[in-house]
Structure 1
């Protein structure tokens, strides 16, 4: 079976924050070469409290604060990884990783290839990625597509507590550099977890997507916070008689193309969802893969939902319009041909989702009556 479809008996809910914290704790306990570094990860216990309690338990040799110099401490981390240590480098926001991009790409990602496999770089770069709440353009960008385009990196984007715990453990144990993109707005979200997930040996495979909800009419791919939106969309579509299959990508690189294409060959339709920019985005890559590998199975054009193609606004109302939100309008009617025409609107000022089920796009009225001139 492609992908991962699991039904588990739930235990007490766990927040994404606690899932990340417990994964770090257990991996540091199991492997003395694992250490944590970054701004305020020690005394302050992390800007988002992901490293809570680790300094007290493991001491300043393995949990240490750095100056505000991402290029400096990222380089130290890569050097430590060259010598078989396993650093976990926290960026207070992945926007600050741009200060360290030379070390992430040229020093970490390319070393294994340039050394003909002689040098492994087992390092994890982790922290919040994407939009949060009114922190401006320079603190709100999604870097999934940026890092996902670089050979030599593995790029993970957890959604649930299970994802966060299992994928972070996998990232720390991996011999290659991993970019671990979290979402600040998910840290406080609680998800049910099973006894299996809480086991210290629990680990999720890198490069495998999870089918969060099975369906037969349309495939929706998403990652990070957008998975929740996709699941809500699927619930609404179900009430309209449309069965949506939701794929939680989990890994951006390597992308689980097999699971995506297998799903599209079953549903014959594809919608991708992400909060990043539309041009050269993760959705664009997925659409290209499906067109290349499963074109003859498609009954409608592939569709992308993405953020607005502008720097993130600071004002709250504009920020909400620039990032896909859960505001849907679904309209359908059955035609003489027996096909459904459905319009699923993921509300954003500059992006609209086009008709899913047929190409006669002029048959559905525009749900946006806001007085703006919106480019198609």
Structure 2
């Protein structure tokens, strides 16, 4: 028995402020039904994949793209080889128009190679597309990316940015695991990946695979969302999500951004730096640092200087307008060994 994310109707989100309050701030996945149902690309896809291809050709500037190509026997499951050293697919450089022509013309044909073209910045490949297919719930300036291909299976992975993924053709199934399940997902290599982020080996394995016993504890905690063309899903950063494109031809437009950023720095940088500074220290010292992180950063028991007047909070006061720069300067001094 699977669980489902919360759902909200598109008409209940009137502007970016409402989206932040109702959807992003709780940091839980949310399905938004009909969010992009009126987009021109969705209407074109409703007619046929050929009409979608013709619609996109209006914007195509001929830029080359990387395409995943898989043998028929992998059935669109782009993954590692058995030894985790290589992959079961090829990466081929093609023009955008050539790739989508091949994808559309072979969709649904038995015995054909599977093809998948993903994460293409729309403003670079299809200038003008984002103007005709605008997402009103996000602030302007967030560039969309487009994904096109046959039926496919993308293993459970996380992103370090928040994500709104909009299905514009075909159907997709999202299977999501909370960040807290990471210790039972059996993560693959973090610096030898298919598309940038590590994947869960357990979530991609058969249910009875004895190599991953602890995954059984969280398998039934997954949230499963079935999306049709016009629907969207909000996936908060660090939520693991497996994405299956279940039609013979599929297209998706997504937006990655950090809605709560105070500057250009990203939380993932702190994680990587901690691998250098903390991860291999003695266990007792790691526990001591964990207590300090919980107190100063995660603020398990509230603001660490709540017992002092606000005027005495110093660098623990509000980041903006002054403390962001002060803390950044201190960090740079430490990194330079000054």
Identify which of structures 1 and 2 has the higher relative contact order when contacts are C-alpha pairs closer than 8 Å and 6+ apart: 2
Q: Provide TM-score, normalisation by structure 2.
A: 0.31
TM, length-normalised to structure 1 = 0.28
Between structures 1 and 2, the one with greater strand share: 2
Structure whose alpha-carbon radius of gyration is higher: 2
